[in-house]
Structure 1
Amino acid sequence: MAERQEQAVPDAVMTRIGQAAMLHHAGDREEARHRYLRLWAEIGEDGDPLHRCTLAHYMADAQDDPADELAWDLRALTAAEELNHERLAEHADAPAVRALYPSLHLNLAADYVRLGRGGPARTHLRLARGAAEALADDGYAEGVRAAIRRLELRLEEGGAAQWP
């Protein structure tokens, strides 16, 4: 009897998030933001935490106002914390979600710096540095670690109040 190999079923929501992210990275920030908002309306505040984490993480980067960016980054972190091992095991891309923790905390630290809130910025920067220890030694990890070092230097040089 031949064993049936199970194929990972593509996640249509993750695909749509990825498509909007590609628009954003290509420079069409406004269209990406509209697509993210439509997806958020479909997913809802109580939707799948994997979808909410990923979408909010990308949506934060599409914001013009630092306070709005902070709100979306906080949503992403909250959703990441709701993920359980069973849900992570269901999705082929799930291990990448855990690798987002350093980036999630780094983004929050940068948000707080832009808002002139040095205390929370330092807290999230410390959390980002700790979470980055679990990353593989690859280009993504090196980029995150370099961004953490740059933000640390900026905080040391001028504090949160001096952030542009």
Structure 2
Amino acid sequence: MTASATTGSPDETMAAITHAIALGREGSPDAARNALLEIWDSLGPQGDPLHRCTVAHYLADLYEDAAQALSWDIRALDAAHSLTTDRAGQYDTQLDVRGFYPSLHLNLADDYRRLGSFDAAQREIDTARDSLHTLGDDAYGAIVRKAVDEIAQSIRVRETARRSSAPDGR
């Protein structure tokens, strides 16, 4: 999932989300987390699903604790279920909601794996793998496919350590 628009109408909330994500990537994860939490609070439970999905997806990466990451990844998936491709396309005409699901399920699989819940992790990684066809043959698709393989292997060997290649919002 990306937080940068290629076309579409201006979206001040997505601009604020993108700015917060940049804070984390520039080495200020606490500032990024605080900014995203403020945005989350302003959205409320009935807020725009694109905004809720994006905020929750990136907030999950900013938590070292797998249980906290899991709670945000579940929120991201819930928001994605409410999101339409038409709405996503208002922000970026390249976005197709189906392409969100491999990453969202991958993240859930990784959270469950880190918590030692291997059956749940396996269900999520299977779901992620089943939706890989929605990704393009680009760098993003390659990253997600590689991560699916890495996490599937970690599930097989019952490994719970954080992956060195896992996103951390930094």
The TM-score normalised by the length of structure 1 is 0.88
Give aligned-pair identity as a percent: 41
Structure 2: runs of 5+ lacking an equivalent: 1-6, 162-170
Aligned to 1:125: 125
Structure 1 residues 60, 93: closer, same or farther in 2, change over 3 A?
A: farther
CA positional deviation for 1:44: 1.0
Task: After superposition, give the CA deviation of every residue in 1:48-103 in whole Å (9 maximum; x if it has no partner).
Answer: 11100011000110112211100000000000001134423433257154322111
Residues 1:94 and 1:137: Cα distance change in structure 2 (over 3 Å): closer
State how 1:18-29 maps to structure 2 within 5 Å.
18-29=18-29
How many residues get paired? 155
Q: Distance in 2 between matches of 1:57 and 1:150?
A: 20
More helix per residue? 1
Q: CA deviation at 1:8?
A: 3.0
Q: Which has the larger radius of gyration?
A: 1
Show the 5 A alignment for 1:64-79: 64-79=64-79
Report the CA distance shift for 1:80/1:90 in structure 2 as closer, same or farther (over 3 A): same
What residue number does 2:164 align with?
none
Q: Structure 2: how far apart are the matches of 1:31 and 1:106?
A: 26
Equivalent pair of 1:101/1:131 in contact (CA under 8 Å) = yes
Q: For 2:74 and 2:93, locate their aligned partners in 1 and report how far apart those are by CA, in whole Å.
A: 21
CA distance in 2, matches of 1:47, 1:94: 22
Q: What displacement does 1:146 show?
A: 0.5
Query: In the superposition, relative to structure 1, how do residues 85 and 147 fare at CA in structure 2: closer, same or farther (>3 Å)?
Result: closer
Provide the C-alpha distance between the structure 1 equivalents of 2:84 and 2:50, rounded to a whole number of angstroms: 10
Aligned to 2:167: none
Structure-2 residue corresponding to 1:4: none
AA partner of residue 38 (structure 2): R
Q: 1:163 maps to which residue? A: 160
Q: Within 1, Cα distance between the matches of 2:63 and 2:77?
A: 17
Q: 1:135–1:85: structure 2 CA closer, same or farther, 3 Å change rule?
A: closer
Conservation of the 8 A alpha-carbon contact between 1:49 and 1:82: yes
* Structure 2 equivalent of residue 143 of structure 1: 143
Alignment of 1:1-150 (within 5 A): 8-92=8-92, 95=95, 97-150=97-150
Runs of 4+ in structure 1 over 3 Å off: none
For residues 114-162 of structure 1, what are the alpha-carbon distances to aligned partners after superposition, in whole Å with 9 as ceiling and x for unaligned?
1110011001101111111111101110110001011111122x22xx3
Indicate the RMSD between aligned Cα atoms, in angstroms. 1.6
Determine the C-alpha separation between the residues in 2 that align with 1:150 and 1:65: 20
